[in-house]
Amino acid sequence: MMKVECTRLPSGLTVVTERMPHLESVALGVWIKSGSRDETVNEHGIAHLLEHMAFKGTKRRSARQIAEEIENVGGEVNAATSTETTSYYARVLKDHVPLAIDILADILTDSTFDEEELRREKHVILQEIGAADDTPDDVVFDRFAETAYRDQTVGRPILGTPETVMSFTPGQIRHYLGRNYTTDRMFIVAAGAVDHDTIVRQVEERFSTLPVTPLSTPVLDTARYTGGDSRESRDLMDAQVLLGFEGRAYHARDFYCSQILANILGGGMSSRLFQEVREHRGLCYSVYAFHWGFSDTGIFGIHAATGGENLPELMPVIIEELRKSSASIDQQEIERARAQIRAQLLMGQESPAARAGQIARQMMLYGRPIPNEELMERLSGITIERLTDLAGRLFFDTTPTLSAIGPLEQLAPMGDILSSLNIKPAAVQALAG
């Protein structure tokens, strides 16, 4: 039987484990409630650079030794940076958990940020930025975020810019680290063949030097959704189009309702958008809806990839599906969406890496692990009336965000899209401003 155990150390660091019977491996990691959004104006991209530099050498290990030690036992180690979180994680056989904890502690408490390693890694990230710029479906999402949250850290690309990345010094990295990587914002989570008490002891020993209080005041930047229009004409085979609206934050009442609505509209091959736009009309090869939550805001979006000649018909069809969702939703659609979310939850529990990540996100957002039964209970309270009401408020009461890249000659002007959504004059005026 799987069991989640949680211990808060005297330092403020939280350790959470879940034993998964019959497994021989463990997925474990350190999740920090800090990401690109916690950068100052002059630190754009430093959260992601820090994630890279953590593996480039400590006082005890070179970059090569870090890689070799974990791979010598058949394990793997990696990291990821998002808008509001950063994670460093490893996957090993159960006998090698002490090594994984030691390496994760080493890179997070004793990295040297060597000048020569920093110089090399900056050029690696420049290549990463270039590769992203060459990928239209990455660009369209970056432009979307920048437009939805104009001139705010929450809307900036995580990778930074070539200019900002090249400007960073080891001192700036240490300053960001000292301001954000404190015990009250860090969670160590392990899932698989674990023994909770043993991991707690090892973590307490190896992570004892983590700072308890920040070296300076963390960045607090409340999100302000603006909406807007971003178009970039490129000579491409296909157009990438993203139409979105302000969604709901994790703690908002309508958060789970928004998840269900996104699933109904574009969550799979049986969804409304897939069936109408792709299957019935053949207007694109890819279309889906999504809802992303942040701590104080969210994004509800529809992404489509299509030939430029289909744009005149595509946008009105998408908008009509949004309109239909505010008027009528079938109970069967709700049940299907619930079943898909439940399946995702249960399937995630079969993977220690997915389960560790799920627990970590719940700890950062809600301060405790959320049982699946509780999640499903929240979803069970969602009714047809709540969904149609939400759709009306999401799609027709707020300024939309449009981001598009590719052959856009036939994409309707933003004014026409606003008119078709019956956006109020005040919102149109705000967009123009």
Q: In the predicted model, is pLDDT for residue 428 greater than 50?
A: no
pLDDT of residue 375: 87
Across the beta sheet with 401-406, what order do the strands follow? 228-233, 401-406, 239-246, 298-306, 286-293
Smallest CA-to-CA distance from 97 within 14, 4, 188 is with 188
pLDDT of residue 378: 87
Do 3-206 and 228-432 show the same overall fold? yes
d(CA 261, CA 254): 10
Q: What is the average pLDDT across 72-76?
A: 98
Q: What is the average pLDDT across 363-371?
A: 91
pLDDT of residue 432: 43
Among 3.90.1150.10, 3.40.50.280, 3.30.830.10, 3.40.140.10, name the CATH number for the domain at 3-206.
3.30.830.10
Mean pLDDT, rounded, of the chain: 93
pLDDT of residue 397: 87
DSSP β-ladder status, 76-81 and 228-233: unpaired
Q: In the predicted model, is pLDDT for residue 257 greater than 50?
A: yes
DSSP β-ladder status, 86-93 and 25-32: antiparallel
Tally of CA atoms within 13 A in the half-sphere of 321 that contains its CB: 23
Domain ranges of the chain: 3-206, 228-432
Report pLDDT digits (tens) over 312-362: 999 999 999 999 999 999 999 999 999 999 898 888 888 999 999 999 999
pLDDT of residue 3: 85
Lowest mean pLDDT among 8-17, 217-226, 330-339: 217-226
Burial class (CB in 10 A: 0-12, 13-18, 19+), 131: exposed
Whether the CB-CB separation of 243 and 318 falls below 8 Å is answered with yes
Residues tagged active-site = 51
Q: What is the average pLDDT across 252-281?
A: 95
Phi, psi angle pair for 196, to nearest 5° = -60, -50
Q: What is the average pLDDT across 168-195?
A: 96
| Vertex 312 angle, CA 307 and 318, to 5° | 90
CATH superfamily of 228-432: Metalloenzyme, LuxS/M16 peptidase-like (3.30.830.10)
d(CA 258, CA 387): 8
Q: What is the average pLDDT across 187-193?
A: 97
Burial class (CB in 10 A: 0-12, 13-18, 19+), 292: middle
pTM of this structure: 0.92
Paired with 19 in beta bridges are 3, 192
Which uninterrupted H or E stretch holds 260?
helix 255-266
Whether the CB-CB separation of 92 and 102 falls below 8 Å is answered with no
